């Protein structure tokens, strides 16, 4: 009896690699195999577009060029260099992970996927990317780009919001995986962001269009399939911008809720200060799963005694606009400070 051959799709991975060799984007982190730099770049660009994050990445690497420098830095300085990138927990985690590398790996970046995965804040995607790009690891760095490209190539309706999607698409990726997994992972990143985009993919320029089932069936808009939408939670916050003669009060957030370790205005004030409230501004701000409505009260304190008592009782930090540039604030509060004019009034 004639035996049916298992279908092979390795030629898809080879085509992608050929395309990448001619079309790879010229990005600064493509010139290096230094795992420290690749790791930082993977974390920086997780939630940030390349164009928006490039200056931040370059500044960060300039100030913290290696694991040791980063591990020895003050956490607040690391947060300051993360300013503008958002998701500050990433900065806190990379700082801790750098200390982990110094303490547990004698300052040498771990080579194995499983070891890289043990670093604080490093998930399967980042571990696969670093191990494949820097140490010839063989694990696909599966992310949203993989979900989109693979579901279209195979016209596969597996729901990407399913908790098993990561494992499912990892297995699918293995069907087309070439030997050079490092370049393949980077090629998928470029293809997903430049060609096989979420909306209006450029199929005419795609190196895989002859192999793409969704393209040949004219069903691209049907893939990937995603059923579950995470509903954003509405949240109200209050802050008091307590100021006097150009100085204002701040504190550092300690809880594990949003904006951990960033600086903020006092969230409550004493009864004596209520009479100094001059105005209130409501700011709406979106986080990944939260819609924030933030009321910021402008409290201009006319009494030196009440000002001093309030500071002493609550251990607030007194700063001014210039001093605030040395610290990281949540974006809505940073915007508010920028509007605090030179005559010490709120615009």
- Residues tagged active-site: 42
Tally of residues, the chain: 347
Nearer CB in complex with ligand SF4: 173/299:
173
Q: Are 42 and 59 in contact (CB under 8 A)?
A: no
Q: Should residue 176 be labelled a site residue for ligand SF4 when binding is judged by CB under 6 A?
A: no
Q: Which residue has the tokens 């933030």?
A: 294
Among 58, 6, 13, 10, CA closest to 32: 58
> CB of residue 169 vs ligand SF4: minimum separation in angstroms?
14
- The three-class DSSP label of residue 103 is helix
> CB of residue 190 vs ligand SF4: minimum separation in angstroms?
12
> CB of residue 9 vs ligand SF4: minimum separation in angstroms?
13
Query: Using CA of residue 213, residue 219, residue 220, residue 226, what is the dihedral sign?
Result: negative
Rounded CA separation 157/23 (Å): 29
> CB of residue 12 vs ligand SF4: minimum separation in angstroms?
9
Interface with ligand SF4 (CB under 6 A), residue from 50, 80, 117, 220? 220
Please report, as residue ranges, which positions from 197 to 216 form the binding site for ligand SF4 (by CB under 6 A): 201, 203, 206, 208-209, 212, 214-215
Interface with ligand SF4 (CB under 6 A), residue from 61, 133, 176, 195? 195
Please report, as residue ranges, which positions from 270 to 309 form the binding site for ligand SF4 (by CB under 6 A): none
Among 185, 209, 183, CA closest to 195: 209
Binding mask 132-151 for ligand SF4 (x = CB under 6 A): -----------------x--
Among 185, 28, 43, 34, CA closest to 109: 34
Nearer CB in complex with ligand SF4: 217/232:
217
Interface with ligand SF4 (CB under 6 A), residue from 71, 153, 176, 333? 153
Give the binding-site size for ligand SF4 (rule: CB under 6 A). Answer: 14
Chain Cα centroid distance, residue 170: 22
Rounded CA separation 27/51 (Å): 10
Nearer CB in complex with ligand SF4: 172/212:
212
Among 159, 157, 114, CA closest to 139: 114
> CB of residue 225 vs ligand SF4: minimum separation in angstroms?
14
Question: Please, is 137 exposed, middle or buried when counting C-beta atoms within 10 Å of its C-beta (0-12, 13-18, 19+)?
Answer: buried
Residues near ligand SF4 (CB under 6 A): 149, 152-153, 195-196, 201, 203, 206, 208-209, 212, 214-215, 220
């Amino acid at each position: 009896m004639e035996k049916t051959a298992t279908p092979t799709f390795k030629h898809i991975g080879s085509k992608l690699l050929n395309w990448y060799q001619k079309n790879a984007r010229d990005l600064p982190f493509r010139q290096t195999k230094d795992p420290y730099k690749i790791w930082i770049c993977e974390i920086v660009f997780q939630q940030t577009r390349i164009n928006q994050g490039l200056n931040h990445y370059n500044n960060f690497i300039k100030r913290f060029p290696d694991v040791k420098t980063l591990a020895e830095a003050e956490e607040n300085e690391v947060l300051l260099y993360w300013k503008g990138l958002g998701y500050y927990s990433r900065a806190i985690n990379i700082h801790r992970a750098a200390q982990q590398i110094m303490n547990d790996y004698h300052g040498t970046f771990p080579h194995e996927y499983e070891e890289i995965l043990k670093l604080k804040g490093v998930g399967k995607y980042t571990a696969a990317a670093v191990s494949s790009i820097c140490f010839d690891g063989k694990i696909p760095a599966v992310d949203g780009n993989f979900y989109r490209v693979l579901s279209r190539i195979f016209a596969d309706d597996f729901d990407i919001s399913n908790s098993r999607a990561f494992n499912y698409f990892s297995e699918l990726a293995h069907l087309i995986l070439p030997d050079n997994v490092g370049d393949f992972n980077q090629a998928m990143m470029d293809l997903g962001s430049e060609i096989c985009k979420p909306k209006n993919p450029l199929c005419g320029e795609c190196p895989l269009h002859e192999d793409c089932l969704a393209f040949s069936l004219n069903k691209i808009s049907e893939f990937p399939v995603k059923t579950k939408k995470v509903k954003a939670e509405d949240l109200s916050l209050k802050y008091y911008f307590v100021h006097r003669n150009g100085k204002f009060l701040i504190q550092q957030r300690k809880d594990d809720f949003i904006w951990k370790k960033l600086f903020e205005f006092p969230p409550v004030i004493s009864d004596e200060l209520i009479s100094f409230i001059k105005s209130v501004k409501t700011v709406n701000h979106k986080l990944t799963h939260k819609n924030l409505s933030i009321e910021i009260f402008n409290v201009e304190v006319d009494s030196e005694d009440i000002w001093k008592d309030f500071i002493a009782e609550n251990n607030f930090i007194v700063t001014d606009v210039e001093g605030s540039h040395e610290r990281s604030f949540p974006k809505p509060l940073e915007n508010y400070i920028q509007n605090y004019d030179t005559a010490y009034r709120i615009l």
